[in-house]
Amino acid sequence: MNQIFDGVYREGRNIATKNKFKGNTVYGEKIISEKGNEYRLWDPERSKLAAAIQNGLRNWTIKKDYNVLYLGASSGTTPSHVADISNLVFAVEISKRMMRNLIQVSEIRTNIIPVLASALKPETYMDRILSVDFIYQDVAQPNQAEILNKNAEIFKPKFAMLAIKARSIDVLKNPSQIFKREIAKLKNFEVLEIIKLYPYDKDHVLVNLRYKG
């Protein structure tokens, strides 16, 4: 395994994270054992962050001592890899069905803290969350930039990543126009890079950001 970023490794064409909870898998991912460590292969077909890495992400801003606020945690696939890399992951999810799966993941992966709430209403969960160094957002809602802005205003992260889903915002407009419009709304952020996620995710980009406050 060759380390390409803090906490992220590559073997051949595959990427992986070092498994903090040996013997445990989350979504049937393959485990590779090497020199007493376990590495979980990270599927870019099931994770936009993994897709961005495979598509050439350059600026890696998640540190091992960071607390991450993950907005749109779903059943825990990508949050589980982020939790391998970072200190704590506060995983916000609005779907009760997805939350049941997420809670099962967190029962073993104890540095994932599930939060059943709407990411659009950070004031409802701000008291349950410790300091936040990084925000990762992947929500299928039309007001994606607004959600990130509201959470950043409260939690003051150092960095953030925003997965913009064009078809969740407007099914008729050109995706490039949508991406440009949403990014322009991020007034308190510096854009570090924009990564297209095709062919893993059509009409999606991942925007890598530094929070200016």
Per-residue pLDDT at 171: 60
pLDDT digits (tens, 9 = 90+) for 54-90: 999 999 999 999 999 999 999 999 999 999 999 999 9
CA-atom Rg of the chain in angstroms: 16
pLDDT digits (tens, 9 = 90+) for 8-43: 999 999 999 999 999 999 999 999 999 999 999 999
Count of beta carbons in the 10 Å neighbourhood of residue 95: 14
Instruction: Give the model's confidence band at 174: pLDDT under 50 very low, under 70 low, under 90 confident, else very high.
Output: confident
Q: What is the pTM of this model?
A: 0.95
Count of beta carbons in the 10 Å neighbourhood of residue 68: 27
- Cα torsion 40, 72, 50, 171: sign: positive
Which domains are seen in the chain, by residue range? 43-211 (3.40.50.150)
Instruction: Give the model's confidence band at 172: pLDDT under 50 very low, under 70 low, under 90 confident, else very high.
Output: low
Residue 53: pLDDT above 60?
Answer: yes
Cα distances (Å, whole numbers) of residue 101 to 1, 16, 50, 76, 80: 30, 22, 21, 7, 12
DSSP 44-109: TTS-HHHHHHHTT-------TT-EEEEES-TTSHHHHHHHHHSSEEEEEE--HHHHHHHHHHHHHS
pLDDT digits (tens, 9 = 90+) for 88-137: 999 999 999 999 999 999 999 999 999 999 999 999 999 999 899 999 99
